[in-house]
């Protein structure tokens, strides 16, 4: 937009250049020329001053002042348009970049996702989606084909593995069955061997006991004649000593012991022939005292009985068990170095436990089993029949006898018999 236009004329008659206003677009224009020849720019205006010539002669000067507001407005609009265009272009470039990057990374992410699922779950059922037909798409196709091949190979391996597992299980079952049969056969052989050994031991023991029984029969036969003579002598002395009560008392004692000795011989002979026991309810304390009177008639030992007074009566063959106690007490007296103490402890529960304890010199530990075998003894003057006879008599009571402990300060013999032996 033209703000104003001014023309100055030059007077050619004058030597110096003097300018006078010729015409102006404003009613009151400038009287003198202020703008130099050329272009003058300000913030809001542009002033252009040019000389007017005619036939190479300067005749005046034209000054035009133009407002720059519309130019500034256009410039601002252009700048806004340029900034907006740049923002749009940059946004578009970003969108294109993101789209391009997404188109590149999505197939790779798909491959990565499928690989992680296969690695985590351990099977090959997953496949990658084929996105695009470029090199990455061909890579996905090859990857899926590789998975197909792996899945097929895995199926074949599973089939082979299942077959091998079945064969291994079958073979393992066969081996276990064979092993069980071998173990069963070994146990049967072990039981048969143990039974054979027990039978052999029993035969040996019965053979020895048969020998002992034969010897006992001979001894009994030889003892009966002098015992008969002694009984006749007792009868004769009793008839001649009617007025002497003391003599009669001792003769009665001798006669009673002879009768009891004869009964013991008869019962032992019955046992060797396999006769049944005569089970009766017996006072165990009294039985021990009677046996001790036979083994220790001089009272060289100190006796102690420990047991429940209410449970003193036990079912057993009192005559044969008195022989057991008599043999054990005799062994204790023979093993004593000074006045010995003999203790009998009776415990009655589900079975009867009888412990015979002395303070003798003891039995060597390596002889604990042997001393119960016939004709084996640790004494210099023994014949090895006392403890074997005790073992046989206790066995006939369905019990057992053993050395529980022994040392140079004493021995403990444990006898165990059933509680429910039925009386005869």
pLDDT at site 11: 66
Q: Could you give the CA distance from residue 415 to residue 422 in angstroms, rounded to a whole number?
A: 18
pLDDT computed for residue 402 by the predictor = 92
What is the bridge-based pairing of β-strands 302-306 and 341-348?
parallel
Residue 302: Cβ-neighbour burial (10 angstroms; 0-12, 13-18, 19+): exposed
- Per-position pLDDT tens, the chain of length 424: 677 777 777 766 655 556 677 777 766 655 556 666 778 777 778 788 888 887 777 778 888 887 777 777 888 888 888 888 899 999 998 888 877 766 666 777 777 777 777 777 766 677 767 666 666 677 777 777 787 787 788 788 888 888 888 888 888 888 898 888 899 888 888 888 888 887 777 676 666 655 555 555 665 656 666 777 777 777 777 777 777 788 887 777 787 777 766 666 666 666 666 567 788 888 999 999 988 888 887 788 889 999 887 777 888 988 888 889 988 988 888 877 677 789 999 999 889 999 999 988 888 888 888 787 765 555 555 555 678 888 888 988 889 999 999 888 889 999 999 988 876 5
Is residue 17 packed enough to be buried (19+ CB in 10 Å), middle (13-18) or exposed (0-12)?
A: exposed
Structure token digits, residue 174: 């066969």
Q: What is the pLDDT of residue 67?
A: 78
State the pLDDT at residue 404.
Answer: 92
Cβ 414 vs Cβ 353: under 8 Å = yes
In sequence order, the β-bridge partners of residue 342 are 303
Q: What is the pLDDT of residue 76?
A: 84
pTM for this prediction: 0.45
User: So what's the pLDDT on residue 214?
Assistant: 58
């Amino acid at each position: 937009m033209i703000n104003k236009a001014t023309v100055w004329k030059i007077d050619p008659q004058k030597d110096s250049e003097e300018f006078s206003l010729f015409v102006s677009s404003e009613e009151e224009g400038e009287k003198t020329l202020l703008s130099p020849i050329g272009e003058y720019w300000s913030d809001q205006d542009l002033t252009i001053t040019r000389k007017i010539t005619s036939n190479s002669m300067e005749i005046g000067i034209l000054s035009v002042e133009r407002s720059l507001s519309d130019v500034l407005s256009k410039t601002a609009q252009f700048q806004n348009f340029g900034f907006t265009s740049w923002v749009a272009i940059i946004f578009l470039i970003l969108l294109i970049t993101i789209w391009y990057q997404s188109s590149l990374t999505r197939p790779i992410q798909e491959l990565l996702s499928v690989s992680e699922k296969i690695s985590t779950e351990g099977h090959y059922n997953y496949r990658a989606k084929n996105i695009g037909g470029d090199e990455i798409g061909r890579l996905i196709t090859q990857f899926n084909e590789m998975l197909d091949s792996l899945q097929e190979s895995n199926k074949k391996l599973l089939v082979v593995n299942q077959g091998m597992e079945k064969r291994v299980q079958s073979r393992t079952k066969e081996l276990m069955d064979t092993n069980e049969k071998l173990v069963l056969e070994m146990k049967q052989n072990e039981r048969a061997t143990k039974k054979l050994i027990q039978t052999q031991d029993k035969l040996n023991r019965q053979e020895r006991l048969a020998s002992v029984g034969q010897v006992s029969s001979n001894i009994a036969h030889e003892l009966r004649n002098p015992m008969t003579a002694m009984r006749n002598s007792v009868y004769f002395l009793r008839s001649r000593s009617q007025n002497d009560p003391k003599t009669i008392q001792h003769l009665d004692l001798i006669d009673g012991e002879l009768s009891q000795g004869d009964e013991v011989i008869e019962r032992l002979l019955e046992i060797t022939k396999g006769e049944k026991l005569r089970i009766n309810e017996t006072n165990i304390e009294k039985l021990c005292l009677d046996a001790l009177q036979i083994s220790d008639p001089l009272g060289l030992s100190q006796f102690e009985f420990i047991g429940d007074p209410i449970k003193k009566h036990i079912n057993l063959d009192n005559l044969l068990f008195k022989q057991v106690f008599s043999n054990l007490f005799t062994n204790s007296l023979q093993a004593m170095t000074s006045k010995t103490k003999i203790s009998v402890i009776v415990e009655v529960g589900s079975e009867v436990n009888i412990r015979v304890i002395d303070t003798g010199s003891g039995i060597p530990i390596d002889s604990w089993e042997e001393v119960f075998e016939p004709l084996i003894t640790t004494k210099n003057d023994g014949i090895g029949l006392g403890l074997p006879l005790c073992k046989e008599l206790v066995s006939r009571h369905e019990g057992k006898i053993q050395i529980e402990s022994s040392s140079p300060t004493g021995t403990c013999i444990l006898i165990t018999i059933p509680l429910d032996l039925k009386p005869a």
